[in-house]
C-alpha cells in the first residue's frame, strides 16, 4: 500500500484510487496515509456509489497522536464536497486495532462476511 501511495503522490496513474492524503512528521518524512476509491457499491452501505477507504496507515511511533483521525477527516471532507453521504471501509476480522480506530472515528459495523476464491486452471 505504501508503494501505491507514493506512486499516486508522484503523479503516476493508479487505477483504483481517486484520492490519497498523506501526513508528514516534523522532519517532513511520511508518517501516514489514507487512500480512497469510489466503488459502485460497498456492502452495508445504503448509497451508491460510495467512497471506500482502500488503505489507512500510521507509523507505529506516530499512533495515538491524532494523525489517523486527521487523515480520516481529510477523507470525509473530500467525500462530502463531492456530494457523497457515506464513507465505507473494512478490516480483517482479527485486526482489533483497526476496528478500534474505525470506531474512534465514528464508524459503525455494518456487516460481516467471509470471502471465497477458487483458482481456475
Residue 30 lies in a domain: yes
Residue 114's pLDDT is what? 85
Q: pLDDT tens, 17-40?
A: 899 999 999 899 999 999 999 999
Structural domain of residue 56, as residue ranges? 2-104
Contacts for 43 with CB less than 8 Å, ≥ 6 apart:
110, 111, 113
Distance of CA 59 to the CA centre of its chain: 15
What's the predicted TM-score (pTM) here?
0.82
Q: pLDDT tens, 49-87?
A: 999 999 999 999 999 999 999 999 999 999 999 999 999
Residue 22 lies in a domain: yes
Residue 116 lies in a domain: no
Residue 109 lies in a domain: no
- Which CATH number goes with the domain that contains 100? 3.40.630.30
What is the distance between the alpha carbons of residues 63 and 33, in angstroms, rounded to a whole number?
A: 12
Residue 110 lies in a domain: no
List the Cα angle 84/22/97 in 5-degree steps.
80
Query: Structural domain tally of the chain?
Result: 1
Query: Which 3 state secondary structure label does DSSP give 35?
Result: strand
Residue 10's pLDDT is what? 75
- Average pLDDT taken over every residue of the chain: 90
Amino acid at each position: 500500500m505504501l508503494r501505491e501511495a507514493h506512486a499516486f503522490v508522484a503523479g503516476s496513474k493508479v487505477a483504483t484510487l481517486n484520492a490519497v492524503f498523506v501526513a508528514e512528521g516534523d522532519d517532513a518524512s511520511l508518517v501516514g496515509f489514507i487512500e480512497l476509491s469510489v466503488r459502485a457499491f460497498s456492502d452495508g452501505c445504503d448509497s451508491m456509489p460510495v467512497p471506500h477507504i482502500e488503505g489507512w496507515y500510521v507509523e507505529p511511533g506516530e499512533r495515538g497522536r491524532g494523525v489517523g483521525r486527521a487523515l480520516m477527516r481529510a477523507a470525509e471532507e473530500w467525500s462530502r464536497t463531492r456530494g457523497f453521504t457515506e464513507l465505507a471501509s473494512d478490516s480483517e476480522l482479527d485486526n482489533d486495532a483497526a476496528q478500534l480506530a474505525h470506531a474512534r472515528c465514528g464508524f459503525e459495523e455494518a456487516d460481516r462476511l467471509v470471502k471465497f476464491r477458487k483458482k481456475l486452471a
